[in-house]
Structure 1
Amino acid sequence: MRTALRTAAIGTVSAALLAGPAAAGAAAAPAPAVSPAVSPDAYGASGATGVRFVDIEGDGGTVLKANAVVPSDWDGRRRYPAIVLPTSWGLPQTEYLAQARKLADSGYVVVSYNTRGFWQSGGRVEVAGPPDVADASAVIDWTLANTPADPQRIGVAGVSYGAGISLLAAAHDKRIKAVVAMSGWADLIDSIYSGRTQHRQAVGLLGGAGYLTGRPSDEMKQILKDFLGSNLAREQQMIDWGWKRSPAAYVDRINDNGAAVMLGNAWGDTVFPPNQYASFYEKLTGPKRLEFRPGDHATPEGAGLLGLPNDVWTSAHRWFDRYLKGVDNGIDREQPVQLASRSGGAYEGYPDWKSVGATERKIALDGRKKIYANLDSGANGGTVILSSALDQFLKLPPMAVVPFLPRSFAAVWQSERYGSEQRLRGAAKLHTTVTSTKKSGTLVAYLYDVGPLGIGRLISNAPYTFHGETPGRPFNVDLELFATAYDVPAGHRLALVVDTVDPLYIEHNPSGAQLTFSSSAADPSYLSVPLRKK
């Protein structure tokens, strides 16, 4: 259903997508290599990495607060590759200062700016709308005019909100040669409305931070109200709005422009889950790299923002060195898909995303199970940001005692005990038949690693919402769980749990609703688990 709605949305917003921001389109031509309007003296004493806090005129004259950092050896004649960094949602312009200094020390001009509507920058929060994309090009214009930036070697990067804007900018501005998008989104709809289910905690967190640190636009306020209020009458408008802000809608233009794109994300990202990044990665045709690690939203690269050693930022520096400086550092010869398992161990390299879970094992979901809706069974996906961060740092994912889950509110299936370690890589897929006593409803599927004592450690989950079904008539459900990398120890088993309530999501179960899960010889229900051979 969501695919059909999205297809309709493409037609609705196609004119806006092609037009893009006028400023971005005008900025696509390379700027002439002229001397910058300022001298090295404007950045401080010679021999030190210089920093200037500046105002940059963005789209429509909006003032963007920014800082510019130049290499210490700038003598007024040299040109350097340049990197533009839009800030994350709700964070100030100093967010990237530690990394900007590191990049400048290695020979880059770096300009970081506070996205419109936040902190002291002007305008309203447009949620990566056309003015934000135009702002990125305006910042590039300013960088070329006011720093020793080389117009042929421009990169953009960002974390979270900055990552999304960076990818959108690469679709609209041909000057951008390299992108590093960390903990961002490629498909905004699939991120916050996957399975046609509102991700309540994620959107609530973003909305609250937007009001606290910024000035939301009227459009953003209306979208938040409709989304959190489950206004299905405006569902198509919400999808149009989100798809217009999705880099996936512009993937052909990104490919045509030819920027080298590196994507990084966390397995447990509760704001922008990994599946949508993997799907987008597969559609890119230029130089590309995909990295997944343990953690939650922006936690893998967080230490790097403080200037501490960090794998994500190390990869980012190598990516820019290769595609902006031309350094033969070997990153282009490595396997382009790099994964770190949540269970620990060295990074694993794959030639593409399809190879990650090349072997699939099906777990039969036999029998007929009926559950009552409207009550949390005790199985849930945890808390936004916190739960997967605890898994990252302390190996403490959300847990449930599977034998004690109430079968009246949770359907449970378990595999046999495995005699050897099972290396789960990628996205598990659920296929089942559901019969509801109501025309609408929500179910949430959880995959657990269950030890000998029955304690289940959450591996993955995903929600699914339906509307307009005929009560009493069976219908098929196909649900892809959030991708992960997890090693199930020998002697453990997998358990699939399905219930109807999770604090992470908005549920649509009418009072008194019941769901029945069934399987038949003609259409068996199963869970397909992607495995990596040893």
Structure 2
Amino acid sequence: MRTSLALAVSAALVAGAAVGFAPVAQADEVGVRFVDIVGDGGTVLKANVITPAGADGSRRYPVIVLPTSWAMPRIEYLVPAIQLADSGYVVVSYNSRGFWESGGEIETAGPKDVADAAKVVDWALAHTPADAERVGMAGVSYGAGISLLAAAHDPRVKAVAALSGWGDLIESIYSGRTQHLQAAALLGGAGYLTGRPGPELREVLDDFLSSNLDKEDEMIAWGRKRSPATHLDRINANGAAVMLGNAWGDTIFPPNQYASFYEKLTGPKRLEFRPGDHATAEATGLFGLPNDTWDSTRRWFDHYLKGVDNGIDREQPVQLKSRSTGEYEGYADWKSVHANQRKFALGDSEHLWANVDSGANGGVTLLTNLLDQLFRTPPTVSVPFLNRAVAAVWQSERYDTEQKVRGTARVHTTVTPTKESGTFVAYLYDVGPLGVGKLVSNAPYTFHGKAPGQPFGVDLELFSTSYDVPAGHRLALVVDTVDPLYIEHNPTGAQLTFSSPSADPSYVSVPLRKE
């Protein structure tokens, strides 16, 4: 199975080159080698080394290390690596331990993976014309996380481009204390298919997917150790220039946690959000097609590793691409995105039965938000026809002018359960004149240990986005208790009441761009 998938990926790269997607001529000019690198503890890592044309050891070049994405073979970055080498970089791409032909077991960005990254840098400095003073790391998804963790532990890393990665692993797949079922199942299944999960990962996956709450503290500690946010002080102390890129609809590593991580960085930094799902914003660049994310990555390294005055350090560091228009907007920081807030009240009490899907949902991991990226077709629902026995619905007034939603909408409400545990999912819709709602954002929330019949307050951040609500439309908040994206914890017969006490009114706060 692994060999056939590798051949399929290789064939896709070759086919892309044949129709002009990849610069094949450059592959003849630069040097491409397949090598073994000894990682931490003697584990052999399978790698590619791409050097600039004519490199003969008489000069040193900046080096970029690319750990592969989760479950991807070592040829994943071959095309962008050739492009980087053609512009004067030594590039070393390696298969992370436990995947494909590399040795060891999957550590999920654990200490051994961080040590491997340092060993790869050591090897590059010893066996290629790489400059020890100009070391960068980059990667998509798993490679992004490892790159950020390496920047915390290896001061030689001067610049990072972390694409579709995570700052906080727990806030990524366990936000709102709700297991992101499809995301975890996809990662776990891909890991078993293409690699060798270690005993710690197998145990964590089993406990997570089986909702073993007795192990919750252990699972959180496991995730914290693997979160760059935990090592933020070290990243800041080392001073690496960090570029973060992600998709608005990333169902594996949602944008909120990346934005929060970005705000706490103190060195040179840049944050880019685009339409799409996990790793879809970078995908075309892997085949040599025009790609904004990879263009920014090259400019980032050109400036911070080569010293090129290309202006990227003078641009607004937060760059947001609208899901509605495809246009970019620049901001001085993430806080500025939320500077203008508009609330609408959740005034009426709503009572609903749990365990029944109302039809409102966030779609399917990887597929739904990819379609939104390509065709601007978010999930839809007919708001007037939602079953009010299993869905709570509130709507804003109809807006006279276009409302440009930017950033993170927040829900504040009071919940009274009939059981001690429960899960609900909040959806924000753009509702047109015919009542058809287009999904703007959503987020889950789970509680345990609450006293039945006793109200408690909830503050929930929806996943960040950039979406334009047309004039004449309104926003609607819909809440139900079932979504295939998430594991729900609603006991049989559970009911939830959402109210708005006069002393603590319920509302949705929506961040809007000011022209």
Length-normalised TM-score, structure 1: 0.91
Q: Give the conservation status (yes or no) of the 8 Å contact 1:444–1:498.
A: yes
Give 1:389-428 correspondences, 5 Å limit.
389-428=370-409
Output the amino acid matched with 2:498. Answer: F
Alignment partner, residue 377 of structure 1: 358
Cα pair 1:46 1:72 within 8 Å, conserved: no
Question: CA separation in 1, counterparts of 2:77 and 2:254?
Answer: 23
Q: Please identify runs of 4+ aligned residues in structure 1 that moved more than 2 A.
A: none
Q: How does 1:56-455 map to 2 (within 5 A)?
A: 56-455=37-436
Whether the 8 Å CA contact 1:117–1:216 is kept in 2: the answer is yes
Q: Tell me the SS of whatever aligns to 1:163.
A: helix
CA contact (8 A) 1:442 1:463 kept: yes
Residue of structure 2 equivalent to 1:520: 501
Note the alpha carbon deviations across 1:288-330, whole angstroms, 9 max, x for none.
0000000000000100011111000000000000000000000
Q: Distance in 2 between matches of 1:172 and 1:385?
A: 32
Task: Give the match for residue 450 of structure 2.
Answer: 469
Q: CA offsets, 1:111-168, max 9 Å, x none?
A: 0000000000000001000000000000000000000000000000000000000000
The alignment partner of 1:339 has SS state of strand
Q: Matched residues in 2 for 1:464 and 1:345: separation?
A: 31
- TM-score (norm. length: structure 2): 0.94
Runs of 5+ unmatched residues, structure 2 = 1-25
Aligned AA (1:294):
P
The sequence identity of aligned pairs, in percent, is 73
* In 1: Cα distance, 2:27 partner to 2:268 partner: 37
Q: Which residue of 2 aligns with 1:15?
A: none
Indicate the residue corresponding to 2:468 in structure 1: 487
Matching residue of 1:502: 483
The alpha-carbon deviation at position 431 of structure 1 amounts to 0.4
Secondary structure of 2:29's aligned partner: coil
**1:73 to partner: Cα distance:** 2.5
In 2, Cα distance between equivalents of 1:47 and 1:268 = 38
Q: CA deviation at 1:75?
A: 2.6
Deviation at 1:344, TM superposition (A): 1.4
Q: Could you list the runs of 5+ residues in structure 1 that have no partner in the other structure? A: 1-44
What is the aligned-residue RMSD (CA, Å)?
1.0
Seen in structure 2, the aligned counterparts of structure 1 residues 331 and 440 have a Cα distance that, compared at 3 Å, is same
Residues 409 and 107 of structure 1, relative CA distance in 2, 3 Å threshold: same
Three-state SS of the structure 1 residue aligned to 2:166 is coil
Does the residue aligned with 1:278 lie in a helix, a strand or coil? helix
Q: In the alignment, what sits opposite 1:22?
A: none
**Contact 1:47/1:73 (CA < 8 Å) preserved in 2?**
no
Deviations 1:424-469 (A, max 9, x none): 0000000000000000000100000011111110000000000000
Distance 2:57 2:504 in 1: 72
Question: Does the aligned pair in 1 maintain the 2:27–2:82 contact within 8 Å?
Answer: no
Tell whether the 8 Å contact from 2:422 to 2:446 is kept in structure 1 after alignment. yes
SS at match of 2:220: helix
Give the residue type in structure 2 aligned to 1:247: P
Q: Matched residues in 1 for 2:339 and 2:134: separation?
A: 38
Secondary structure at the aligned position of 2:305 is classed as helix
Distance in 2 of aligned mates of 1:310 and 1:369: 46
